[in-house]
Homo-oligomer: A and B are copies of this chain.
Amino acid sequence: MIFEIVKSRGLSHKSYFIGSRGAAAVIDPRRDVDIYLDIAKRHDMNVEMVFETHRNEDYTVGSLELSKLVDAKIYHGAGLDFAYGNPAHEGDSFEFGSLQLEVLETPGHTPESISITVKDMDASEDVYMVFTGDALFAGEVGRCDIYGPEEVERMAGSLYDSINQKILPLGDGVIICPAHGSGSVCGAEIRDVDITTVGYEKKTNPLLQKTRRDFIEHKVAERFYIPPYFKRMELNNQRGVEILCRLPHLRALSTVELQGMDDGVQIVDVRDPESFAGGHIPGTLNIWSEGVPAFAGWFLNYHDPIVLVDYDGSRIESVERYLIRLGYDNIYGYLAGGFSSWFKSAGPVETIEPCSVHELRDKLEDPSIFLLDVRKEWEWEEEHIDGSHNIYIGILEEKLEDVPKDRSIILYCDTGYKAGIGASILKINGYINVTNVLGSIMAWKKAGYPTLGVEFHG
């Protein structure tokens, strides 16, 4: 049996390649599908089937792309009307080589979610592993808020039943292969491991210790942001998107070319926040490269050309892949030679004042500062630096009226990266005195400085 986990960083997305005796299936492929072709070639296998465990909302799935290139059949849950592929129902079974895959309907994250069990018939008729999609993760379960707050209770009940009546009964020894790992926006507290087992989750997953009532209550109380691009991903994944065939070749732009582009151009500086602080092109958005999968969808539109700015080009291809996975087909180019080619050409340069947590402590005395925490609302409630105001980074642009223009704005988040996004947004919007706390609350706490929680949460 060939079994390979394909992890997509940033999205913390996991897809799987499973094959036996020349035939293979891919579960939840990403949109840049070259990696599956490479695995197939390495093992002399044909990808015959592509399974989607659910209609994804956080990225554009690569089923159509892969299917087109290798002539495979696509299957997804029967509970939704997809414009492509085939419906898979409870108990549907697919065989290739020594493997038998079988569909379990496991609604809850979405109504049409499915899990797929794997038996190795050479060894036994017992289930060996199960692909659980966004139903069950290591240490977590899927979100139930995708269909709106009014549906959470119903969906949570449904998810509880799926897990308890379908997945856990498979047996403690069954290996669980979820669709996301640690860091995904699709689950709050996913553990940082590749695989887990039913038995280990039953013992250690806090959600599985709850009664149905407590489980639902927990899910109803749970709070998530829904990035604006989720809607587009849902459409993409229900209707299908254009076939790319290959990663688009990006144009290497000179400073002069970049300066000559229309105002609409979306320039994204993918360097780290302290580098952006040390110098950047005025008016540009800063999203560090590994933050692109999770944050680009909050800020970039799907029509104006996107141009990337990097140190030296080494991050361009991975950022391009990240954007492609989010359905961006409007990536135009990148600044040739990186940021330094801008300043060598006498392009105007702006800076942001960075500050360490030790400097922050000294500045807190100063009444003219406005301390802005851009983490999630509930993270702030849990614990924050005294005196800070909270606006989540994703909605900062909508809430600018809450940020005073006449004060020194000091931003922080977990470690300084999201604060870097925020600092760039404030600068774009005309704020002059903007400071980013490098290390943010993580360093603040390591340094032993005090934090506050909001009473009713603490």
Q: Residues on A close to B: CB < 8 A?
A: 1, 3, 22, 37, 40-41, 44-46, 69-71, 120, 122-124, 126, 128, 138-139, 171-175, 191-195, 197-204, 245-246, 249, 251-252, 254, 271-279, 311, 313-314, 317, 336-337, 339-340, 343-346, 348-349, 351-359, 415-417, 438-439, 442-444, 446-447
Q: How far is the CB of A86 from chain B (nearest CB, A)?
A: 21
Chain B residues, CB < 8 A from A203 = 124, 126, 171, 173
- B191–A416 contact, CB under 8 A? no
Chain B residues, CB < 8 A from A276 = 278
A195-B195, A346-B356 given. 5 additional CB < 8 A pairs?
A: A41-B313, A171-B199, A171-B203, A277-B351, A278-B352
Chain B residues, CB < 8 A from A344 = 415-416, 439, 442-443, 446
Find A416's partner among B202, B343, B415, B417 (CB 8 Å cutoff): B343
Chain B residues, CB < 8 A from A337 = 22, 44
Chain B residues, CB < 8 A from A272 = 275, 311, 339-340
Q: How far is the CB of A207 from chain B (nearest CB, A)?
A: 13
Find A69's partner among B249, B311, B336 (CB 8 Å cutoff): B249
With the chains together, A452 CA to B236 CA distance in Å? 60
**In chain B, what residue has the closest Cβ to A33?**
B249
Q: How far is the CB of A314 from chain B (nearest CB, A)?
A: 6
With the chains together, A214 CA to B198 CA distance in Å? 31
- B192–A175 contact, CB under 8 A? no
Q: How far is the CB of A107 from chain B (nearest CB, A)?
A: 25
Chain B residues, CB < 8 A from A354 = 278-279, 349, 351
Chain B residues, CB < 8 A from A171 = 172, 199-200, 203
With the chains together, A227 CA to B313 CA distance in Å? 31
Q: Closest 7 A-B residue pairs measured CB to CB?
A: A173-B199, A278-B278, A172-B172, A274-B279, A275-B275, A44-B336, A277-B278
With the chains together, A139 CA to B123 CA distance in Å? 8
Known: A124-B203, A274-B275, A278-B279. A311 touches B311 (CB 8 A): yes
Chain B residues, CB < 8 A from A69 = 249
- B447–A346 contact, CB under 8 A? yes
Q: How far is the CB of A263 from chain B (nearest CB, A)?
A: 21
Find A446's partner among B197, B251, B254, B346 (CB 8 Å cutoff): B346
Find A172's partner among B173, B349, B415 (CB 8 Å cutoff): B173
Find A443's partner among B195, B345, B447 (CB 8 Å cutoff): B345
With the chains together, A3 CA to B275 CA distance in Å? 32
**In chain B, what residue has the closest Cβ to A445?**
B346
Known: A198-B173, A199-B174, A346-B357. A191 touches B336 (CB 8 A): no
With the chains together, A204 CA to B125 CA distance in Å? 9
Q: How far is the CB of A456 from chain B (nearest CB, A)?
A: 27
Known: A173-B201, A356-B348, A447-B346. A194 touches B252 (CB 8 A): no
Q: How far is the CB of A371 from chain B (nearest CB, A)?
A: 18
- A46–B191 contact, CB under 8 A? no
